[in-house]
Amino acid sequence: MQTMRTIEWRDGTLATLDQTKLPNENLILEMRECEEVAFAIKEMKMRGAPLIGVAAAYGLALTAYHSKAKTREDLIRQIEASAKILIETRPTAVNLFWAVERILRKARGTTGDAETVTRVVVNEAQRMADEDVEANLKIGEHGAELINDKDVILTHCNAGSLATVDHGTALGIVRTAWAQGKKIAVIATETRPKLQGARLTAYELKRDGIPVSLITDNMVGYVMSRRLINEVVVGADRIVRDAVINKIGTYSLAVLAHEHNIPFYVAAPKSTFDLVHTSKDAIIEKRNADEVTYIGSQRIAPMGVKVLNPAFDITPIKYVSGIICETGVLSKTKLEKLATASKHG
């Protein structure tokens, strides 16, 4: 595990690594205002569904901590204003909305003065960060049971410690299996357009000494047809009743895994579940064309070319072999039952 959490509360300052600078530069961002947190989420300086959930909670904690509000009501109004800014940053990962709701509910449910509300909000954000680490450690344990000695695991994007407070979801499973002494290796897709696989997954696995090889996204079929991998493990941005919504490319991986009879696992904490909705309700964020036509400052396509840039795609549950969360491994059948219960609940 890394020595610093991906996000840390330091007496009214929020510290994180600027993930857009990795792996070439380790730049620590220090934020004191919720607007800075919102900007960092929008610009993907912080990314990963669990991380942006906790970051949003801490963003509201910053608002409370630095507020000059004299009354409980004024403070709650300020927190609500910050919440509004945060939930407009990115539409797909449900953790963001879950975290903001949880802090708002806690603040509104607290009696006492502004100082008391502030203390409660900061403590709740801290608790959410701790819970994320605990959830990932449990996901790691449950998931590692599915990983055999000498397995090679294909992963996409970055569902690692950098996508969470610590340990990671998909890579948390890898870390736990590795810590158990299993001689595993990872193949990471580079994950265009933002290259989280090349920049972040390869970086954090190399740092921890876990064998990792990098491929371009279009090598997945090749790697599967040659049986170079034993299973696919990815994270999730939102798990709805009928599908897993995750980084663009996940759906292609799932179809290819299905065709090759390779298990396809999704690792995510319960905060990523949104079982009151189905995939047709989900908003798939469309990001800027420049993410595709430039890599850094380098233009790689003719000027004026049209671009599609959906940031996520939708993988129907039928392609998912299991969802690994903090309470265990949900099979397709279990997930369907949970979804039905939530529908009627």
| Secondary structure, 3-state, 33-88 | CHHHHHHHHHCCCCCCHHHHHHHHHHHHHHHHHHCCCCCHHHHHHHHHHHHHHHHC
Q: Which residues of 251-274 are buried (b: 16+ CB within 10 A; e: fewer)?
A: bbbbbbbbebebebbbbbbebbbb
Closest to its own copies by CB, 112 or 211: 211
Span of 80-88, 137-145, 162-170, 249-257 interacting with its own copies by CB under 8 A: 249-257
Half-sphere exposure of 68 (CA within 13 A, CB side): 0
Asked if 243 is part of the footprint of its own copies (rule: CB under 8 A), the reply reads: no
Closest to its own copies by CB, 258 or 332: 258
Q: Which of 70, 127, 227, 299 binds its own copies (CB under 8 A)?
A: 299
Span of 6-14, 28-36, 129-137, 205-213 interacting with its own copies by CB under 8 A: 205-213
Specify whether 18 is catalytic.
no
Per DSSP, helices labelled H in 88-169 are 94-108, 114-144
Please say whether the beta carbons of 37 and 66 come within 8 A.
no
Q: Which of 2, 20, 230, 252 binds its own copies (CB under 8 A)?
A: 252
Closest to its own copies by CB, 92 or 189: 189
- Pairing mode, strands 322-325 and 264-267: parallel
User: What is the DSSP-derived secondary structure letter of residue 330?
Assistant: E
**Number of chain positions touching its own copies (CB under 8 A):** 57
Closest to its own copies by CB, 118 or 189: 189
Asked if 152 is part of the footprint of its own copies (rule: CB under 8 A), the reply reads: no
Least distance to its own copies from the beta carbon of 318, Å?
11
Closest to its own copies by CB, 203 or 265: 203
Instruction: Residue 253: name the closest of 178, 319, 333, 164 by CA.
Output: 319
Residue that has been written with the tokens 């996409």 in this structure: 156
Q: Which of 141, 217, 242, 336 binds its own copies (CB under 8 A)?
A: 217
Neighbours of 112 (CB within 10 A): 10
Asked if 91 is part of the footprint of its own copies (rule: CB under 8 A), the reply reads: no
Asked if 300 is part of the footprint of its own copies (rule: CB under 8 A), the reply reads: yes
Q: Please, what is the Cα angle at 74 between 69 and 80, to 5 degrees?
A: 115
Beta bridge partners of 154: 187, 232
Asked if 102 is part of the footprint of its own copies (rule: CB under 8 A), the reply reads: no
Choose, from 132, 151, 166, 237, the residue flagged as catalytic. 237
Please say whether the beta carbons of 149 and 183 come within 8 A.
yes
Closest to its own copies by CB, 100 or 174: 174
Residues found near its own copies in the complex (CB under 8 A) = 23-24, 156, 187, 189-193, 195, 198-199, 202-203, 206, 211-223, 225, 228, 248-249, 251-252, 254-256, 258-259, 292-293, 295-302, 304-308, 310, 313-314
Among all residues, which ones are annotated catalytic? 237
